[in-house]
Amino acid sequence: MINLTSIRMLILSVLLTAAVNVSAESAPEYYEAAVIRFENKEYRTASILLKNALRLDPQHLPSRILLGKSLIHAGDVAGAEKDLKIAREYGADESLVVTLLGSAYLIQGKYETLLDEIRSGGRSTEIETQILVLRAYAQIHLGDLEKAEAELNRAHRLMPDNPGPLLGLAMVAIRQGDLEGAERFVALARERQPQESEIQFAQGEIKRLRGESDSAIQHFNRSIELDPQKMDARLSRAALLITSDQEEAAQEDIDYILTYSPNNLQAIYLKAMILARAGKYAQASAELQVVSQTLSNLKPGFINSHGPTMLLMGTLDYLQNDLEKAKSRLKRYVKLNPQHLQPHLLLAKTLIKLGDNVGAVLTLKPLLQQHGENPDLLFLVGTAYLNDGLYTEASEYLDKAASRQPDLPKVRTNQALSMLGTGNTEGAMQALEAVLSLEGDHAKAGLLLANIQLRKGQFSNALKTLELLIGESPDNPLLHNLMGMAYLNQGEREAAHAAFSRALQLAPDFHPARLNLAAVEAADRHYPVAREQFDQILRQTPDDVRAMEGMAKLAELQNRKDEAISWMEKIRNTDSMTPSPAVLSRLAELYLENGRPELALEVANELGYLQPGELTALDLKGRAYLALGNRESAADQFRIMHQSRPNSAETLQRIAALLMQAGDLNNAEKAVNDALQKAPGLIAA
């Protein structure tokens, strides 16, 4: 059975056969036909004709050389290198081969080979100029800008009217961060009437590095219109289209590149980016593995000096969450390319993920003078300040980002976070509600809004927010758990039970939902069911403090004080963490209730070390001393409580009662008077 691929190949072969159906009986005749196709930019057809010529006469040098040139234009650069070397071995005039071979090396990234084999000296002025330009581009890629500049200046002196050296000097200026200088060189090159596609590409690169994406894309469009096989322009355009959420258009460029150059790593990487953005992570990972394996075989010296490879490796490290490697490579890249905005943004994202928010700000701030209107830059600066707790500074930059990209959920969400940091809860809620009306990912904003609504007791509003989010992400257990909490706080235990159960159906190991479900069962006095929920957590995570606390509370509800104490002691003795003040306080209370004041005093002292001067610890120590018959020590604790000047009349009233129990009637009277001053209607104990 013939499959679809076979049919396509058959159609392609028929079309190609028709395209090259010329009447030729000798290599020269095939060559002449190929020249016409080459001049019409039909490079693949020309290649077929030239291969026919070489089958008739393998040593027909004009066909061999033109085949190399055609293959370069068609994207088969490795094949071109092979044929050009054969032509050289058969005795072809080196001046006809050397620049083509150098171009093949340059396109393939064989920069060191180019510098070793393609040397200047002893040729015509035009050939020497081309060689110097080729060598300069190799040195640019290897990071040796000083040598590149010297070679290009030599080339310019040889042929002042040749635009090639000037365009090369523009690329050096770009790498040096001198974009104004680059523009001057491009303007000078334009006066010398170069290929317009090259000028448009250079201008596009300058705009791209300035962060002017729309303008850069227009230049790349023009370059590609003039020369559809301008692969560099297609790569740069595809990268910008992806960042502009135009994946379909970017995919067309990537497919075109991979048709002619199947092993182009940058194109494969961009293809993986599109797959990842579409949620096709397995396919994206497979593509990135190809890139990773290829790059891992490169010499470290090459990676560390070749800018595009360094950037690609750094980006790959970031995507694979190898953040330290990403930081190292991206730092080296931005040092070589101080004006290239996007790598600076990626480095800042890496530093933020590593918790180095100060480093992120220091990386980005120098770019603000030139790119102060770029919303991505403003967003990242604001986010770094936000993470560092500098809410005023965060608000300044996030507000600017929001004004430039008002419909971007992530900007508005972080703007709301900065408002929360400055205490503007109402403003934050309004900002988050606005995010939910925008198109895009609402998850972060919605979760933040729902949590604020729950904290403020706005349970019905929280339910509305969560219903919207669950409509978008019905299989998110976190959302169902929050919905259960909202129902529970409204007293709707049955609905809460259903929500927590749904969360556990989606994620059986999601402990927060299981803890909440156990609490509902305990409130309904379904103690065995609640115990089983806690047990299930502890079987998976024996040191889960929340589950042990639940077991202790469950034991108390059933009046099993010894069991409750046992669970609390287990929490206290857990090596993995320091017990919380709440655990120590409850354990001390249980010891007092169970007639074990000496242990209560020990725990109360431990609590006092954690929270010096805290009233709860003083209260527990004083009552423990009372239970031990040491009234003077008890009175000391209660007097310290009084001297802390509590604001609550009820607290002062309690202190007075404790002082009376300790026999200090004088200070008890003072505490009563203080309580009455705060609340004149209070009835003294």
- The answer, yes or no, to whether residue 399 has pLDDT greater than 60, is yes
Residue matched to tokens 């994620």: 507
pLDDT computed for residue 514 by the predictor: 94
* The two three-digit tokens of residue 519, written as one number: 């609490």
pLDDT computed for residue 683 by the predictor: 58
- The answer, yes or no, to whether residue 299 has pLDDT greater than 60, is no
Residue 670 lies in a domain: yes
pLDDT computed for residue 288 by the predictor: 66
- 460 Cβ neighbours under 8 A, 6+ residues apart: 486, 490
Is 577 buried (19+), middle (13-18) or exposed (0-12) by CB count in 10 A? exposed
* The two three-digit tokens of residue 516, written as one number: 């909440």
Other C-beta atoms lying within 10 Å of the C-beta of residue 477: 20
pLDDT computed for residue 1 by the predictor: 35
- Of 85, 159, 149, whose CA–CA distance to 124 is shortest? 159
- The answer, yes or no, to whether residue 3 has pLDDT greater than 60, is no
- pLDDT tens-digit series, residues 206-245: 888 777 888 999 999 999 998 887 888 999 999 899 888 8
Is 392 buried (19+), middle (13-18) or exposed (0-12) by CB count in 10 A? exposed
* The two three-digit tokens of residue 245, written as one number: 């959420």
Taking residues 177-192, what's their average pLDDT? 87
pLDDT greater at residue 259 or residue 498: 498
Q: Crossing angle, helix 43-56 and helix 61-74, to 10 degrees?
A: 150
- Tell me how far CA of residue 593 lies from CA of 62, 183, 440, 617, in angstroms: 104, 83, 56, 16
Q: Residue 574: in which H helix or E strand, if any?
A: none
pLDDT greater at residue 109 or residue 257: 257
- pLDDT tens-digit series, residues 10-57: 333 333 433 444 555 788 889 999 899 999 888 889 989 999 988 999
Print the domain residue range for 643. 633-678
Using pLDDT thresholds of 50, 70 and 90, give the confidence band for residue 75: confident
Between CA 534 and CA 528 the distance in angstroms is 10
Q: Which amino acid is at 100?
A: L
- The answer, yes or no, to whether residue 157 has pLDDT greater than 50, is yes
Least confident of 250-259, 467-476, 562-571: 467-476
pLDDT computed for residue 8 by the predictor: 38
Residue 638 lies in a domain: yes
- pLDDT tens-digit series, residues 304-346: 655 666 777 787 788 778 899 889 989 988 887 787 788 899 9
Taking residues 381-386, what's their average pLDDT? 86
Taking residues 262-274, what's their average pLDDT? 80
Between CA 660 and CA 483 the distance in angstroms is 48
pLDDT greater at residue 312 or residue 91: 91
pLDDT computed for residue 10 by the predictor: 34
pLDDT greater at residue 54 or residue 577: 54
Between CA 51 and CA 68 the distance in angstroms is 11
- Tell me how far CA of residue 195 lies from CA of 35, 132, 202, in angstroms: 20, 19, 11
Residue 651 lies in a domain: yes
Residue 640 lies in a domain: yes
- Of 33, 40, 99, 111, whose CA–CA distance to 72 is shortest? 99
Residue 647 lies in a domain: yes
Residue pair 621/598 in contact by the 8 Å Cβ criterion: no
- pLDDT tens-digit series, residues 135-155: 998 888 777 889 999 999 999
Residue matched to tokens 């995010």: 435
Least confident of 6-20, 68-82, 212-226, 526-540: 6-20
Residue matched to tokens 């490079």: 43
pLDDT greater at residue 338 or residue 603: 603
pLDDT computed for residue 5 by the predictor: 34
Residue 665 lies in a domain: yes
Residue 644 lies in a domain: yes
Residue pair 100/68 in contact by the 8 Å Cβ criterion: yes
Other C-beta atoms lying within 10 Å of the C-beta of residue 226: 16
Between CA 579 and CA 591 the distance in angstroms is 16
- Of 154, 151, 147, 183, whose CA–CA distance to 167 is shortest? 183
- Of 200, 120, 131, whose CA–CA distance to 162 is shortest? 131
Between CA 169 and CA 171 the distance in angstroms is 5
Taking residues 106-123, what's their average pLDDT? 86
* The two three-digit tokens of residue 563, written as one number: 């069991």
Domains in the chain, number: 1
- Of 384, 464, 457, 387, whose CA–CA distance to 432 is shortest? 464
Residue 447 lies in a domain: no
- Tell me how far CA of residue 358 lies from CA of 349, 352, 364, 418, 422, in angstroms: 12, 9, 10, 17, 20
